[in-house]
Chains A and B, each alone.
Chain A
């Protein structure tokens, strides 16, 4: 059945023909250095990965050269928005225009259009793990091409690539399309080192409460592992409070292992990815450098396995390869000089966060539906899982968060999220609106790094 579906998905006018036997042979014999799962196992440093992608092969090739010279650990491949929406016709047209002129007519690399035979040449040339960054609800064809190209880390998931990015793509369909992706990753994981799947913790990157971020990370992890994936990264982005980042990290690491084991996935390895600040960046580039530096320090403190970098040009648009590589250099340097980071924990805060996460998870698991994805689907529909600032119509948007005086993100209103009264009282006890209206507080809290 699955193989039949694969024939249908890969047989399109927009792709060259798929030679499945050849692809399996390629993955079986692929160099271990292409697998981030292998690198996680054999490296004792935080892996550094930027973001980036251009329309043409030559520009990506050049970008990778800059990154490698800057000491990158993991290369990115960011996909253009047409491909993300499965509009391969438009991606092809814009790629031709980009190749004819020097203009970038796409905001990323149209991987499906380039195809796996071409892209694989670049991947094997650099012999460095590549992480696929996209935002695609229906990524079935894209992931077929990515894995055949030698791209062995796939970011995303049915929740994290939908709620922050789309208004009305049907969530139930997204779950089923991602099930295909998980199965494919699981299938290829048996041939060599495992394919790593990574969830996208930053979500809408605007005042996201750690409890909800962690719940969604754990659920996408479980959805992935239940299809047979053996290597998974949970992630979150800098919250704005150092202590909240450390607490989030302690809790997510503990609970990820706990729930993976509880569901029988003792053999799966789980990693933590930390995103440098994902909110609005300052326009002053010196401030941006300082912010990036601070993020790197926190990544060390939370003992992440990988850090994803930003650049000093974040406020202005897509950075040049040089600027992008300089952020990698900066981050590697900072990581190298950070020694003797203390172990920090905060029992009261960790207990509060753990209780909120486990109460929400319990409500999800108590849904009467017969499969995990349906339980999650129903929970999102009911607002049990609810993220602030989602454009998607299925997201309840009832919960409201603000920062306390230490910039910790706190629940002001829980909406339909099953947070118990004690936890809500604890959260609210930390909030001081300072005589200003709620909205004035929120506007301030969004712009803390400006």
Chain B
């Protein structure tokens, strides 16, 4: 499985990004890590370039919402039906509940949304979803 990952927007928090990369590698993924300060368009370009199965965007400073508004448009523009879109981290600037955050991000075009969820729990869920998708095909 190929995965593109990175931190969206003007967000330089590198520690979590590295931990995600190490965890994904430990789980056997082929990882393309775009690192911190990455724009949405760069993620999409990398997904196409690497023919990735999964795009996993993370955010720590809470700015991800502003950067996600064009996702549906970009997804339609480049036939990305086979790709699983996931986002995780701290997904709002102020305090916000799961109930508010998850539907909002799903509406932007993410299949899986992890707001302040433990890294391993999130990755388990991602692997489960990928497996289900594979079985369906």
Return A184 CB to nearest CB of chain B, in Å. Answer: 29
Cβ of B79 under 8 Å from chain A: no
Q: Which of B34-65 contact A (CB under 8 A)?
A: 35-37
Whether the pair A167, B37 counts as a contact (CB closer than 8 A) is yes
CA distance A389 to B17 in the complex (A): 9
Q: Which residue of A lies closest to B38 (CB)?
A: A167
Cβ proximity bits A145-169 to B, threshold 8 Å, 1 near / 0 not: 0000000000000000000000110
Q: Which residue of B lies closest to A168 (CB)?
A: B37
Interface size on A, residues (CB 8 A): 17
Cβ proximity bits B5-23 to A, threshold 8 Å, 1 near / 0 not: 0000000101100110111
Whether the pair B12, A391 counts as a contact (CB closer than 8 A) is yes
Whether the pair B120, A206 counts as a contact (CB closer than 8 A) is no
Return B35 CB to nearest CB of chain A, in Å. Answer: 6
CA distance A174 to B37 in the complex (A): 20
CA distance A5 to B97 in the complex (A): 56
Return A29 CB to nearest CB of chain B, in Å. Answer: 43
Q: Which of A355-405 contact B (CB under 8 A)?
A: 388-391, 393, 397, 400
Cβ of A8 under 8 Å from chain B: no
Whether the pair A439, B15 counts as a contact (CB closer than 8 A) is no
Cβ of B135 under 8 Å from chain A: no
Cβ proximity bits A187-221 to B, threshold 8 Å, 1 near / 0 not: 00000000000000000101000000000000000
Whether the pair B22, A391 counts as a contact (CB closer than 8 A) is no
Cβ of B26 under 8 Å from chain A: yes
Whether the pair B12, A167 counts as a contact (CB closer than 8 A) is yes
Whether the pair B14, A390 counts as a contact (CB closer than 8 A) is yes
Return B114 CB to nearest CB of chain A, in Å. Answer: 16
Whether the pair A389, B26 counts as a contact (CB closer than 8 A) is no
CA distance A393 to B26 in the complex (A): 22
Choice from B14, B37, B119, B120 contacting A389 with Cβ under 8 Å: B14
CA distance A168 to B18 in the complex (A): 17
CA distance A167 to B42 in the complex (A): 14
Given A167-B12, A391-B12, A437 and B18 contact (CB-CB distance below 8 Å):
no
Choice from A204, A400, A438 contacting B14 with Cβ under 8 Å: A204
Given A389-B14, A390-B14, A437-B120, A443 and B37 contact (CB-CB distance below 8 Å):
no
CA distance A167 to B22 in the complex (A): 19
Whether the pair B35, A439 counts as a contact (CB closer than 8 A) is no
Residues of chain B within 8 A of A30, CB atoms compared: none
Given A391-B14, A437-B26, A167 and B36 contact (CB-CB distance below 8 Å):
yes
CA distance A446 to B15 in the complex (A): 9
Interchain Cβ contacts under 8 Å between A and B, 23 examples:
A167-B36, A167-B37, A168-B37, A204-B14, A206-B15, A389-B14, A389-B15, A391-B14, A391-B35, A391-B36, A393-B35, A397-B18, A397-B33, A437-B23, A437-B26, A437-B120, A438-B22, A439-B19, A439-B22, A439-B23, A439-B26, A439-B119, A442-B19
Excluding A437-B23, A439-B22, A439-B26, 14 further A-B contacts by CB distance (< 8 Å) are: A167-B12, A206-B15, A389-B14, A389-B15, A389-B18, A391-B12, A391-B37, A393-B35, A397-B21, A400-B22, A437-B26, A437-B120, A439-B23, A439-B119
